[in-house]
């Protein structure tokens, strides 16, 4: 991973873990506190500056340890935006690009980080995201009834690190003001008419929010360790595809058009042979599956 010059990371670790029932960033994951995994993703990656935002208690208990490891420290505020503002104030003026990352996302890859930074360098702001797999519905104000189903094709689940040119992030923090909180800083930029670029991310980059997420993160972590110890000379991928045969569609298999009264139903050509091969190739290089690239 090559990080653009004058880049910095702000690692947000000031949450109180209300949904988890305790501070999730210090829950043990595969033998280490979750925050350690998040920090390791950025340490030694070529960033000019690293800032970790901690609660007052953790700042007093662990602040010097973080500083000894090359991190700057900043106190968390009552909201995400307040914490980000505090972390931003700890950066030196020489920083030109800023990556903002949730400490509760321990599985972020350096590839996603580098691609998001490069996109932000080009477009001003960039956010990693993945296509939605589940159907999403709007609910009534009291949460008792469904009221509508947005088109999933136009929706994505966003992640971090969200990356910005310094001046745009500063503008977002000023526009947010001290009184209101936002789910993320890109939401503020959208209100200002600035459209962050989309960077296709990895489904493994989950945010650990509930106890069930710990189980999922542990499984992904084991998979990650297995990838590291497997031989780089040989990789395996598995792929499959299923389409229903229907009247009125061309039958294409392995790129060859076959004369047949029925073909595969699908929004593409439904070529199950090539789609399965693509899935296997993508899996062998740990790049997801074809549905990520063609949802």
Q: What is the pTM of this model?
A: 0.75
Q: Class for domain 7-142+153-228, per CATH?
A: alpha beta
Q: Helix (H, G, I), strand (E, B), or coil: what is residue 53? A: strand
* Other beta carbons less than 10 A from residue 210's beta carbon: 13
Q: For 90-105, write each residue's pLDDT tens digit.
A: 999 999 999 999 999 9
Q: Taking residues 142-161, what's their average pLDDT?
A: 92
Q: Taking residues 86-93, what's their average pLDDT?
A: 97
Residue 287: is its pLDDT beyond 90? no
Domain boundaries for CATH 3.90.550.10 within the chain: 7-142+153-228
Q: Taking residues 261-288, what's their average pLDDT?
A: 85
Architecture of the domain delimited by 232-293: 2-Layer Sandwich (3.30)
pLDDT of residue 2: 73
Q: Counting beta carbons within 10 angstroms of the beta carbon of residue 253, is it exposed (0 to 12), middle (13 to 18) or buried (19 or more)?
A: middle
Q: Taking residues 35-46, what's their average pLDDT?
A: 89
Domain boundaries for CATH 3.30.1330.50 within the chain: 232-293
Residue of 71 and 287 predicted with greater confidence: 71
> What is the distance in angstroms between the CA of the first residue and the CA of the last residue of the chain?
27
Q: For 197-244, write each residue's pLDDT tens digit.
A: 999 999 999 999 888 888 888 888 887 766 555 555 567 787 878 888
Q: For 178-208, write each residue's pLDDT tens digit.
A: 777 888 999 999 999 999 999 999 999 999 9
pLDDT of residue 193: 95
């Amino acid at each position: 991973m090559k990080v653009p010059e004058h880049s910095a990371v702000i690692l947000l670790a000031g949450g109180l873990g209300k949904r988890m029932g305790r501070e999730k960033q210090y829950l043990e994951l595969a033998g280490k506190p979750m925050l350690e995994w998040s920090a390791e993703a950025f340490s030694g990656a070529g960033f000019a500056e690293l800032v970790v935002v901690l609660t007052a208690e953790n700042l007093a208990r662990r602040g010097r340890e973080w500083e000894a490891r090359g991190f700057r420290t900043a106190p968390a505020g009552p909201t995400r935006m307040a914490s980000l503002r505090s972390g931003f104030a700890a950066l030196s003026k020489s920083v030109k690009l800023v990556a903002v990352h949730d400490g509760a996302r321990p599985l972020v890859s350096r590839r996603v980080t580098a691609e998001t930074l490069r996109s932000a360098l080009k477009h001003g702001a960039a956010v990693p995201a993945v296509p939605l797999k589940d159907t999403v519905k709007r609910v009534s104000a009291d949460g008792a009834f469904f009221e509508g189903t947005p088109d999933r094709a136009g929706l994505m689940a966003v992640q971090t690190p969200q990356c910005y040119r310094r001046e745009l992030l500063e503008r977002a923090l000023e526009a947010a003001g001290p009184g209101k909180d936002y789910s993320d800083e890109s939401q503020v930029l959208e209100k200002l008419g600035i459209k962050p670029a989309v960077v296709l991310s990895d489904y493994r980059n989950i945010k650990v929010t509930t106890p069930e997420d710990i189980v999922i993160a542990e499984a992904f972590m084991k998979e990650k360790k297995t990838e590291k110890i497997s031989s780089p000379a040989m990789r395996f991928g598995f792929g499959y595809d299923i389409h229903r045969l229907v009247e009125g569609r061309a039958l294409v298999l392995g790129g060859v058009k076959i004369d047949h009264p029925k073909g595969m139903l699908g929004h593409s050509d439904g070529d199950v042979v090539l789609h399965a091969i693509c899935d296997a190739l993508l899996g062998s290089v740990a790049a997801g599956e074809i549905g990520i690239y063609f949802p």
